[in-house]
Amino acid sequence: MLEFLKQRSQKASLPPGSAVYVGKERAHVVEVRILDYDRDTYLDSSELNLDEVKRLHDSSTTTWLNIDGLHEVSVVEDIGKMFGLHPLTIEDIVNATQRPKVDIFDDYVYLVVKMPFYDEEEKTVEMEQVSFVLMEHILITFQEKKGDVFDGVRKRVSTNKGRIRKMGGDYLTYALLDAIIDGYFGVLERVGEYVETLELELVVDPRPATLHKIHELKREMILLRKSVWPLREVVSSLQRDEIPFVTDSVAPFFKDLYDHVIQVLDIVETFRDIVSGMLDIYLSSISNKMNEVMKVLTIFAAIFIPLTLVAGIYGMNFNPEKSPYNMPELNWVYGYPFALGLMVVVAGAMLYYFKKKKWF
Amino acid sequence: MLEFLKQRSQKASLPPGSAVYVGKERAHVVEVRILDYDRDTYLDSSELNLDEVKRLHDSSTTTWLNIDGLHEVSVVEDIGKMFGLHPLTIEDIVNATQRPKVDIFDDYVYLVVKMPFYDEEEKTVEMEQVSFVLMEHILITFQEKKGDVFDGVRKRVSTNKGRIRKMGGDYLTYALLDAIIDGYFGVLERVGEYVETLELELVVDPRPATLHKIHELKREMILLRKSVWPLREVVSSLQRDEIPFVTDSVAPFFKDLYDHVIQVLDIVETFRDIVSGMLDIYLSSISNKMNEVMKVLTIFAAIFIPLTLVAGIYGMNFNPEKSPYNMPELNWVYGYPFALGLMVVVAGAMLYYFKKKKWF
Amino acid sequence: MLEFLKQRSQKASLPPGSAVYVGKERAHVVEVRILDYDRDTYLDSSELNLDEVKRLHDSSTTTWLNIDGLHEVSVVEDIGKMFGLHPLTIEDIVNATQRPKVDIFDDYVYLVVKMPFYDEEEKTVEMEQVSFVLMEHILITFQEKKGDVFDGVRKRVSTNKGRIRKMGGDYLTYALLDAIIDGYFGVLERVGEYVETLELELVVDPRPATLHKIHELKREMILLRKSVWPLREVVSSLQRDEIPFVTDSVAPFFKDLYDHVIQVLDIVETFRDIVSGMLDIYLSSISNKMNEVMKVLTIFAAIFIPLTLVAGIYGMNFNPEKSPYNMPELNWVYGYPFALGLMVVVAGAMLYYFKKKKWF
Amino acid sequence: MLEFLKQRSQKASLPPGSAVYVGKERAHVVEVRILDYDRDTYLDSSELNLDEVKRLHDSSTTTWLNIDGLHEVSVVEDIGKMFGLHPLTIEDIVNATQRPKVDIFDDYVYLVVKMPFYDEEEKTVEMEQVSFVLMEHILITFQEKKGDVFDGVRKRVSTNKGRIRKMGGDYLTYALLDAIIDGYFGVLERVGEYVETLELELVVDPRPATLHKIHELKREMILLRKSVWPLREVVSSLQRDEIPFVTDSVAPFFKDLYDHVIQVLDIVETFRDIVSGMLDIYLSSISNKMNEVMKVLTIFAAIFIPLTLVAGIYGMNFNPEKSPYNMPELNWVYGYPFALGLMVVVAGAMLYYFKKKKWF
Amino acid sequence: MLEFLKQRSQKASLPPGSAVYVGKERAHVVEVRILDYDRDTYLDSSELNLDEVKRLHDSSTTTWLNIDGLHEVSVVEDIGKMFGLHPLTIEDIVNATQRPKVDIFDDYVYLVVKMPFYDEEEKTVEMEQVSFVLMEHILITFQEKKGDVFDGVRKRVSTNKGRIRKMGGDYLTYALLDAIIDGYFGVLERVGEYVETLELELVVDPRPATLHKIHELKREMILLRKSVWPLREVVSSLQRDEIPFVTDSVAPFFKDLYDHVIQVLDIVETFRDIVSGMLDIYLSSISNKMNEVMKVLTIFAAIFIPLTLVAGIYGMNFNPEKSPYNMPELNWVYGYPFALGLMVVVAGAMLYYFKKKKWF
């Protein structure tokens, strides 16, 4: 959260529409990959020849331009200018702190969504920003870093599997969004496994660290929900036929996608409820533990304090010689065994009493 | 939850529209049953002869095609192709992790709902997916496993009871949905009995296991609510006359059904409130128990520690011979009985004090 | 809740539209009472002569047919058939587990609401179902059992008080609903008195039984709210002029009624908030009690343990004869009084310390 | 709440439209005051001459008729009949348990709102009902008891300050509502001061009585909210130009008023949040106190019990004469100082341990 | 809150539309600054020559009139009269307790928003009111006190950076609102840092003061939310093209701004959730601490009380000379070492028991 705010404030004093990269992945080189296809033709190229791209754009084939890496802002700006993108769109593409949304312009539709990753070591969910610019015959996608989420779609295009080669950029958009939402399911599976681990820990050995983990998880769910909720709005508007460049034949697919997003939201909500329940269990387990501690103390005190009293009584110094009433036990033959026996009887009675109370 | 996510992720990398069975009931053989009827004629067959089905479909009689078992995807695909179902519909039918919904296509309406079962042993609610494809003169239903929920409707058709033979596929849809929603009432009755058992346990002997059961129950209610809430939307859209192939004369029945779904939701919400109240009672019963433990400890300590002090005082070794002020009690004739009597008086006073404080 | 579910499940396997009595009041005989009136004429009869009823129905006078007792389903069915009621309406009338609602048919409007009773012994709110069938010139009402709630209205009709004789069946419907809603206010008054009793109990002597009562009350409020909330919708639709057979001149009365329902809802909500607050007070009073117990224990322990130490020290057996440093106090003239005085001083210091800490 | 219900139930069995006073202020005499003005003329009279009022009503000047005291129902009924008010309006005016609302009739608009007073002694918020009947050229207001809230407006009219004399009854309505809403701000200021007092009490000396006060305050906020929320709806409808007799030129003033009502709601909500936070602080302060008590007990026990053991050891009666190993310390020259020193060292070590643990 | 209410009540008895300054910054002198520009010309003046301003207003250049300081009401009133502002607008400008809102008048649009400052010493968020009056060719802004938030925009105008000189008053409004919303991000960054500090304090050393800080923070978040939520409505209405004087070409910028406001709201909500989680952690840490205290007490008591019993037993005065059964140990050669050894064994067993129970 704080990190996001720090990144965000880097550009606070800049004029609106300034294209400044805001994000944290700057390691690798910017990579561009072009796919151009229709039913019959197929082209895969990693070289950004602007004239060539322009020619592909004008042709009736579907062109998919994918850019991995946003930190070299000039690349994005060049592409943006070539396709006539609004300065605010370019600013949004390179500002990786966007909220998922749809912006409709005259010549294109701009979508931005969040793609989740599960960091297995930190047990946290990381987010990457993906931008879509959908125009007539062309789809441009921008990712923060090179990843393999889109590889499945790429393979389907190259192998001409399914209907993807028969349809246009809107279907391609759908296919890519579908891959991203499948990613949410994958991340939630990891989260679910972690939840099960935590639940076990809660039963076996709940400690303050467990509470900390539960709270971390709760926060993760809040953040995840904050990224899925606007995604729902994005997909909902795609499904409602309100978006240009989305043809009727693709609408059922977006409706299907919408159902998936709702399922993701349902699961996130369920995890939130589960995590809240874990908090209750943790708190009541602390109380139960205290109960146990109190019982041990009470049992010890209640058994040994009476015994100590018995010992104390026979430690009194009343003078038996001055009176036959003064502690005659001290002179009994079996005085000592009697005292010890008395102690055993008292302790036994106590134990029986607590046993009956089901204290142990 | 986790199981659902694991099932779901099996098909993450497949192209959209891929018909892959997602679910866990694979044991039995796929069964197909055909009912064809109107006011006068009636046919019941378990053999899937596609030509015959086509002929029934074209006739003006109402045809009901029921498929039990989804794991043999090819059967579903064959039927789907014969009736011109959209690939996404076929995918949804075999993917038993759907959220209840209505999809309207040009030639048919696709409904998917969840049917609940109560697992008496695990005390959990299980869900089975049921799909409806409603077309002109024909209704196709798909269940995950063979069950007897629809038998009542089948019997009414065969015995020509009520109005079912006089009406079409829309009324049949209503009758089947009504049977499913009656199933919800039945499951809630079982849940209600379990709630009563738990409430008794809470009063008689609340233990950490009770808390665990309460949380399990709460989770059940959350999941149940998540399946009924979209069901409400499904039935609501059926009632609002927006769905093709649903005639006006059936609308009042769907409105009635809608009232039932609202009742189910009301009951689920009420159970959630009750379960939340049980949590409060559990937590306060822990506190009460600790209070009891503390009182026992305090009473023991407050009675015996003063007595031990008395014994300790008369165990001091001040030399009576050096001074008449030094512990003259030790030489009294009734010194010892006096000391014991003092102890009895102190203990009695303590007991009286705690009695007055209503500590026991 | 459970009882409701058990009643409800009696008819789970019956075809929709089956008129089966679902409820628990079967004791008394079904009674029918007919009032027929206009400005000038007035008739009161307890005999159900169907031809006569038909004649009254056709006349321009307002006819009110009241049926007490639903368990003889055939009576309801006969009346239903005579007036052309839909089978679902007949089913709803005899199924006393309905949710309040309005159903509009071509020839009549069907209203069902819940009438509350306060069971003084059980301190619980019971509900009775009342159905209204409003047609041109006639109003038919169905109650589960004979009650006196409608007597005031009957009296106004017979004595020609207020405007009731000058207006039609819609105003009669209003007058009866008004009587029912006044019943809610009466029940809430009883609940309010019970709340005050409980609050006193909470201050004077909170016990686990108090918690149980608070939870019972909370559940009552939840159930009451669930019956008033749909009632609000019913009256709202009556007020919005959307209902046939309701004339414009009666609309302001329904608007007034609507305001009353909102007030009932407000009060129920307020009671819920109050009851939630009582839970907080109960829980904190448990904590306070434990604090008190702990303080008593600590004061006892902190006063007597140091005294026991003093007694223990002078009970040590160091040999004064071997060394002048070995417990010379034992041989002092005022050794024993000194030891006792030391104890008094220590105990006094402790008491002062706890007094200053405001522990008692 | 209960008082309200008791008042309310007084009229439960009366026919609708019965004008019966429901409220508790019956002490003083009913007072009527008439103001009649336009730009140039001004009349102030306290005598209710009905003919005169009729003449003023018909003139084009603005007439304001204010009635203080509702318990003489006949006065209200006379006025009501003169101006042709609906019986339900008259009933609502004298029933001081109304919820704020707007009723639109053909000839007039009826507004009812709640005016708050802060009872400095009881620290509670009391509500008075104010009714407005706005017609062409005349505004009639009804208050439960004589108060000075409207005096500022009266003075502005008499001194011709601001625009009030230049405008009609709608602006007068606005000015009076504005005075009432200013009253809410005043009451909230008092509540705010009380909240600060309570917060101090919470820090300095939280006791069960504090909890009681917090709950009283919370309940006050709930009741205040329940009176402001419908007031918001009233002012909102006035602002939306939907109300007859409200001219366009006054609409911005009602919009401004609406903003004020929203501010009142915001403040009430904030107070609710603050009060909820106070509950948390109270509960955690109880826990903290118990922690303190426990620490005192533990420190005492942990210091004195080991010392008592030391004293107990040297109080054992092993015979040093039988063996050199039997308690040789008893015969040491510095045996006793050694034992006392050992105690001091043990106590010091304990104190250091607890100091290091930051227990005091 | 209370301060606001006190300020607010200063003007309670004044007629509506009275321009009275309500706020707390009265220190400095009112400053006026005029910027007048178009693509080519640029003028910056700090002298308020009304004729000159009128001339600039009539010209087609964009004029920005900024007033710092509202306490000299006459200045605001003069400007208001010159530009024909409604008296309510003037009242709102000088009343610094407004809720953010948009008021649309025939000749101008009035916007009022809140600008946040973070008080580093008090760790609280302060709010300043900023008013915008947008007319044809002119924008007038009113600030409570001189600040540097608008300097960036001023610089962009003077240096002709970005598109600001090419566009009109609507874009200027956007640029200034953008600067204000960037201010929210900055404030949230400070809040985020404070949250991290608090979280550390919570882990390392939670004390009642920490709870106090958490509650302060929670209250800050509530107040911040109450200022951002209506701001959202303001920007939303600007974005929806409903506002006059806002041209189509600026709409995308306002949409972008809207996204930023939503992000601010998201962050505020997230902080609220985080702070709620901190409360849970605080409360459970108190319970954990008490557990620790109880364990220390129990371990001490359980180890030393049995040892004291052993010492007590061998301190009994049974007469060994009267019977061989009476405490023969006292005469053993190794009696004393045996007793001490017994103590060590018992203590060791206890320690092992608690070690096994993982109590330390």
Q: Do E256 and A311 touch (CB under 8 A)?
A: no
The answer to whether residues C7 and C106 belong to one domain is yes
Which residue in the set D12, D18, D311 is minimally distant from C186, CB to CB? D12
- When pLDDT is averaged across residues C87-101 and rounded to a whole number, the result is 90
Q: What type of residue sits at position A287?
A: S
DSSP B166-181: GS-HHHHHHHHHHHHH
Is residue D292, in this structure, part of any structural domain at all? no
Is residue C298, in this structure, part of any structural domain at all? no
Chain centroid, CA E14 distance in Å: 32
Q: What is the dihedral of CA A327, A328, A333, A336, to 10 degrees?
A: -20
D272 touches chain C (CB under 8 A): no
Determine the distance in angstroms separating the CA of B186 from the nearest CA of chain A, rounded to an integer. Answer: 24
Q: Do C182 and D12 touch (CB under 8 A)?
A: yes
CB atoms near residue C211 (< 10 Å): 22
List Cα–Cα distances, C213 to B147, B257, B269, C81, C195, in angstroms: 43, 36, 21, 47, 10
Is residue C304, in this structure, part of any structural domain at all? no
Contact of A37 with A43, CB cutoff 8 Å: yes
Q: Looking at residue E6, what is its pLDDT? A: 76
d(CA B254, CA C230): 18
The alpha carbons of chain A give a radius of gyration, in whole angstroms, of 36
Is residue C156, in this structure, part of any structural domain at all? no
Instruction: Output the six-digit token pair for A307.
Output: 């015994």
Tell me which of C239, C264, C285 is where a domain ends.
C285
E281 touches chain D (CB under 8 A): no
Angle between the N-to-C axes of helices D251-313 and E251-313, in degrees from 0 to 180, rounded to the nearest 10: 20
**pLDDT over 60 (residue D30):** yes
Using the 8-state DSSP alphabet, how is residue C18 labeled? -
The answer to whether residues C53 and C187 belong to one domain is yes
Q: Buried b / exposed e across A37-70, counting CB within 10 Å, b at 16+?
A: bbeeeeeeeeebeeeebeebbeeebbbbbbbbbb
> A57 CB contacts (<8 Å, ≥6 apart)?
A63, A83, A135, A137, A138
Percentage, residues of chain D above pLDDT 90: 35
Determine the distance in angstroms separating the CA of B325 from the nearest CA of chain C, rounded to an integer. Answer: 6
Instruction: Output the six-digit token pair for D351.
Output: 């104190």
Q: How confident is the model at residue D31 (pLDDT cuts 50, 70, 90)?
A: confident
The answer to whether residues C44 and C166 belong to one domain is yes
D306 touches chain C (CB under 8 A): no
Q: Buried b / exposed e across C52-79, counting CB within 10 Å, b at 16+?
A: ebeebbeeebbbbbbbbbbbebebbbeb
Antiparallel, parallel or unpaired: β D62-68 and D31-37: antiparallel
Q: What type of residue sits at position D170?
A: D
List Cα–Cα distances, B301 to A305, B5, B315, B350, D311, in angstroms: 8, 56, 20, 10, 20
> D239 CB contacts (<8 Å, ≥6 apart)?
D251, D254, D255, D257, D258
Determine the distance in angstroms separating the CA of C39 from the nearest CA of chain D, rounded to an integer. Answer: 17
> D189 CB contacts (<8 Å, ≥6 apart)?
E2, E5, E6, E8, E9
**pLDDT over 80 (residue A18):** no
d(CA B269, CA B275): 10
Q: Where are the beta strands (DSSP E) in chain A?
A: 31-37, 42-45, 62-68, 101-104, 109-119, 124-135, 138-143
Is residue D298, in this structure, part of any structural domain at all? no
Determine the distance in angstroms separating the CA of E61 from the nearest CA of chain A, rounded to an integer. Answer: 21
Q: For chain B, which residues score pLDDT lower than 70?
A: 1, 11-13, 17, 24-27, 241
Is residue D352, in this structure, part of any structural domain at all? yes
d(CA B320, CA C335): 10
Instruction: Output the six-digit token pair for E258.
Output: 């809207």
Task: Name the residue range of residue D46's domain.
Answer: 2-149+162-285
Q: Looking at residue A27, what is its pLDDT? A: 57
- Reported as a single tens digit per residue, the pLDDT across D43-76 is 888 877 777 877 877 888 899 999 988 888 888 8
- CATH number (domain holding residue A280): 3.30.460.20
Measured between beta carbons, which residues in chain C are less than 8 angstroms from residue B164? 15
B37 touches chain A (CB under 8 A): no
Measured between beta carbons, which residues in chain A are less than 8 angstroms from residue B343? 313
Which pTM value belongs to this model?
Answer: 0.84
Q: Looking at residue E331, what is its pLDDT? A: 85
Interface test with E, best of D319, D357, D359 (most E CBs within 10 A): D319
Contacts of residues A81-90 at CB distance under 8 Å and 24 or more positions apart, as own/partner, are: A82/A50, A82/A53, A82/A54, A83/A57, A83/A107, A83/A108, A83/A133, A83/A135, A83/A138, A83/A140, A84/A108, A85/A110, A85/A133, A86/E252, A87/A17, A87/A19, A88/A16, A88/A17, A88/E252, A88/E253, A88/E256, A89/A133, A90/A17, A90/A19
Strand ranges across the sheet with E42-45: E42-45, E31-37, E62-68, E138-143, E124-135, E109-119, E101-104
Q: Do C317 and D327 touch (CB under 8 A)?
A: yes
Count of the separate structural domains present in chain C = 2
The answer to whether residues C184 and C318 belong to one domain is no
d(CA A253, CA A162): 13
Measured between beta carbons, which residues in chain D are less than 8 angstroms from residue C252? 86, 88, 103, 105
Q: Looking at residue A52, what is its pLDDT? A: 80
- When pLDDT is averaged across residues A52-67 and rounded to a whole number, the result is 85
Q: Looking at residue D25, what is its pLDDT? A: 58
The answer to whether residues A279 and A317 belong to one domain is no
- Beta pairing partners, A37: A42, A62
Q: Do D186 and E12 touch (CB under 8 A)?
A: yes
Q: Do E262 and A99 touch (CB under 8 A)?
A: yes
The answer to whether residues C281 and C319 belong to one domain is no
- CATH number (domain holding residue A313): 1.20.58.340
Backbone angles phi, psi at A114, to 5 degrees: -110, 135
The answer to whether residues E279 and E310 belong to one domain is no
- Reported as a single tens digit per residue, the pLDDT across E133-189 is 999 889 999 998 877 788 889 998 988 877 888 888 999 999 999 999 999 999 999
Determine the distance in angstroms separating the CA of C308 from the nearest CA of chain D, rounded to an integer. Answer: 7
- Beta pairing partners, E119: E124
Q: Do D259 and E335 touch (CB under 8 A)?
A: no
d(CA D316, CA E331): 12
Phi-psi region of C241 (alpha: psi -120 to 50; beta: other; left: phi over 0): left
Measured between beta carbons, which residues in chain E are less than 8 angstroms from residue A340? 313
Q: How confident is the model at residue D1 (pLDDT cuts 50, 70, 90)?
A: low
Q: Looking at residue D7, what is its pLDDT? A: 73
CB atoms near residue A149 (< 10 Å): 17
The answer to whether residues C110 and C241 belong to one domain is yes
Among A229-233, A259-263, C279-283, which stretch is predicted with the lowest mean pLDDT? C279-283
The ipTM value here is: 0.80
The better pLDDT of the pair D21, A61 is held by: A61
Tell me which of D268, D285, D302 is where a domain ends.
D285
**pLDDT over 80 (residue A106):** yes
Tell me which of E267, E285, E303 is where a domain ends.
E285
The answer to whether residues A304 and A278 belong to one domain is no
Is residue B186, in this structure, part of any structural domain at all? yes
Using the 8-state DSSP alphabet, how is residue C357 labeled? T
The answer to whether residues B349 and B223 belong to one domain is no
Contact of C271 with C188, CB cutoff 8 Å: yes
State the burial class of residue D131 (Cβ atoms within 10 Å of its Cβ: 0-12, 13-18, 19+). Answer: buried
The answer to whether residues A247 and A99 belong to one domain is yes
- Reported as a single tens digit per residue, the pLDDT across E43-77 is 888 877 777 877 877 888 899 999 988 888 888 89
Q: What type of residue sits at position D93?
A: I
A161 touches chain B (CB under 8 A): yes
Interface test with E, best of A1, A210, A222 (most E CBs within 10 A): A1
Q: Buried b / exposed e across B77-94, counting CB within 10 Å, b at 16+?
A: bebbeebebbbbbbbbbb
Q: Do E331 and D319 touch (CB under 8 A)?
A: yes
D156 touches chain E (CB under 8 A): yes
Q: Looking at residue B147, what is its pLDDT? A: 75
DSSP A11-70: TTTSPTT----BSS--SS--EEEEEEE-SS-EEEE----HHHHHHHHHSSSEEEEEEE--
**pLDDT over 70 (residue E1):** no
Determine the distance in angstroms separating the CA of C15 from the nearest CA of chain B, rounded to an integer. Answer: 7
List Cα–Cα distances, D329 to B283, D267, E315, in angstroms: 54, 76, 15
Is residue D295, in this structure, part of any structural domain at all? no
A160 touches chain E (CB under 8 A): no
Q: Which of residues 222-261 of A touch E (CB under 8 A)?
A: 222-223, 226
Q: What is the dihedral of CA E131, E134, E137, E140, to 10 degrees?
A: -10
d(CA A107, CA A83): 9
Q: Do B336 and A322 touch (CB under 8 A)?
A: no
Measured between beta carbons, which residues in chain A are less than 8 angstroms from residue B329? 318
The answer to whether residues D345 and D253 belong to one domain is no
- Reported as a single tens digit per residue, the pLDDT across C244-262 is 888 888 988 999 999 999 9
Q: Do B301 and C301 touch (CB under 8 A)?
A: yes
